[in-house]
């Protein structure tokens, strides 16, 4: 059940609202789970998954490799950069001047590409690739399970409509490892508790994810926020045992706007580093994105024109992080 606690607090010009976010328990009865997923994706475009089945050791192996990489001196990390958009990036996001208090490593999820990149990332490339491959396989399975359940809940007759795109060998899915450094606090500054957000900085600015579905896992440091109403931000409490899932632009387009691609951002306000790993499930570049007949009706006409993922991705990279992009693909 989703309980809304309306307790807005002003932070600058924005409001923060404590809210209980939807939780999907994958050990529950299947038809019930598919209903909860659809409701969460319609109302929030966002939910938490528990009992997800991704083995803890698979997660910890990748976390250890990520920590090892981010602890290297900058000059060594830069061997894996600059992000083009794959590779190591520090503070610069995209190609149009966006910046944030973050460093990251973005990888294509194809094992061959991972093997090649690993040589610039680690002095034990096979250990690094094996940690990434193990994580990607497990998380891709979870993404597909969630998308199959979504198709069931939406009563889409082609149940593997979404999953097929992510399972395709040419899928453009990516894995992103993020490191948000701790905030620098003056020793006299007592007001640095997370609750005050006094020293918060933007780690990764407001945006929606262009892909189909994102699965995010972070350590026990908070910072993620979602927005379902303009100017109102809902803090997402950290939970290293769970995955946070968000609907991406492609799923919004393929459901003809029924499921919503949620705007989110990451702030840094902690004395501890925040580490997150995000799997972005994406279609192959040439895949045609269009809503299936079940998502369109006389009283719900097609909102978007058909397009390819390559076309959409190119548009996303031509714009700023916070820009809305799906509007540019509206049907006339």
Known catalytic residues? 274
User: With CB under 6 A as the contact rule, which of the stretches 91-99, 157-165, 262-270, 294-302 interacts with ligand GA4?
Assistant: 91-99
Where do we find the tokens 């387009």?
A: 253
Give kind and range of the element (H or E) at residue 56.
Answer: helix 56-70
Task: Please give the Cα distance from 114 to 108 (Å, whole number).
Answer: 7
Residue 94 binding ligand GA4, by CB under 6 A = yes
Task: Please give the Cα distance from 223 to 275 (Å, whole number).
Answer: 10
x/- string (CB under 6 A) for ligand GA4, residues 212-251? Answer: ----------------------------------------
Q: How far is the CB of 95 from ligand GA4 (least distance, A)?
A: 7
Q: How far is the CB of 264 from ligand GA4 (least distance, A)?
A: 10
Q: How far is the CB of 105 from ligand GA4 (least distance, A)?
A: 11
Residue 106 binding ligand GA4, by CB under 6 A = yes
- 101, 172, 209, 249: which one contacts ligand GA4 (CB under 6 A)? 209
Residue 289 binding ligand GA4, by CB under 6 A = no
Token pair of 248, please?
């991406």
CA 70, 71, 72 angle in degrees (round to 5)?
90
How far lies 132's CA from each of 89, 166, 269, in Å? Answer: 18, 17, 28
User: Are the beta carbons of 252 and 307 closer than 8 angstroms?
Assistant: no
Residue 316 binding ligand GA4, by CB under 6 A = yes
Residue 207 binding ligand GA4, by CB under 6 A = yes
Give kind and range of the element (H or E) at residue 249.
Answer: helix 249-254
Applying the rule CB under 6 A, the residues between 15 and 54 that interact with ligand GA4 are: none
Provide the 3-class DSSP secondary structure of residue 205. strand
DSSP assignment of 125-190 equals HHHHHHHHHHHHHHHHHHHHHHHHHHHHHHT-SSTTTTHHHHHSTTB--EEEEEEEPPPP--TT--
Residue 98 binding ligand GA4, by CB under 6 A = yes
DSSP assignment of 68-106 equals HHHTS-HHHHGGG-S-SSSEEEEEEETTTTEEEEEEEEE
Residue 317 binding ligand GA4, by CB under 6 A = yes
Applying the rule CB under 6 A, the residues between 165 and 184 that interact with ligand GA4 are: 174, 176
Applying the rule CB under 6 A, the residues between 257 and 286 that interact with ligand GA4 are: 280
Interface with ligand GA4: number of residues (CB under 6 A): 14
Residue 85 binding ligand GA4, by CB under 6 A = yes
Positions touching ligand GA4 (CB under 6 A) are 85, 93-94, 98, 106, 174, 176, 207, 209-210, 280, 316-317, 321
């Amino acid at each position: 059940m989703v309980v809304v606690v309306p307790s807005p607090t002003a932070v600058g010009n924005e409001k923060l609202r404590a809210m209980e976010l939807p939780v999907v328990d994958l050990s529950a009865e299947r038809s019930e789970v598919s209903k909860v997923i659809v409701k969460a994706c319609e109302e929030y475009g966002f939910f938490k998954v528990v009992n997800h089945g991704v083995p803890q050791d698979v997660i910890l192996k990748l976390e250890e490799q990520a920590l090892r990489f981010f602890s290297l001196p900058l000059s060594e990390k830069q061997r894996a950069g600059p992000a083009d958009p794959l590779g190591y990036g520090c503070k610069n996001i995209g190609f149009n001047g966006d910046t944030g208090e973050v460093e990251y490593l973005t990888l294509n999820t194809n094992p061959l590409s991972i093997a090649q990149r690993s040589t610039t990332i680690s002095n034990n490339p096979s250990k690094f690739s094996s940690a990434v491959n193990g994580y990607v396989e497990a998380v891709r399975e979870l993404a597909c399970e969630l998308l199959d359940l979504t198709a069931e809940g939406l009563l889409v007759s082609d149940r593997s409509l979404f999953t097929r795109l992510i399972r395709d060998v040419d899928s453009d899915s990516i894995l992103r490892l993020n490191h948000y450094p701790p905030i620098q606090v003056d020793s006299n500054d007592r007001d640095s508790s997370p609750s005050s957000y006094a020293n918060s900085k933007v780690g990764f600015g407001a945006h929606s994810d262009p892909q189909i579905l994102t699965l995010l896992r972070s350590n026990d440091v908070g910072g993620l926020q979602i927005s379902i109403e303009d100017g109102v931000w809902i803090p997402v409490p950290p939970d290293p045992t769970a995955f946070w899932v968000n609907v991406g632009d492609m799923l919004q387009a393929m459901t003809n706007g029924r499921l919503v691609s949620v705007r989110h951002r990451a702030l840094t306000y902690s004395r501890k580093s925040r580490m997150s790993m995000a799997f972005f499930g994406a279609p192959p570049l040439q895949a045609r994105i269009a809503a299936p007949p079940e998502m369109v009706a006389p009283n719900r006409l097609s909102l978007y024109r058909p397009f390819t993922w390559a076309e959409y991705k190119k548009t996303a990279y031509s714009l700023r992080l916070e820009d809305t992009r799906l509007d540019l693909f509206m049907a006339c």
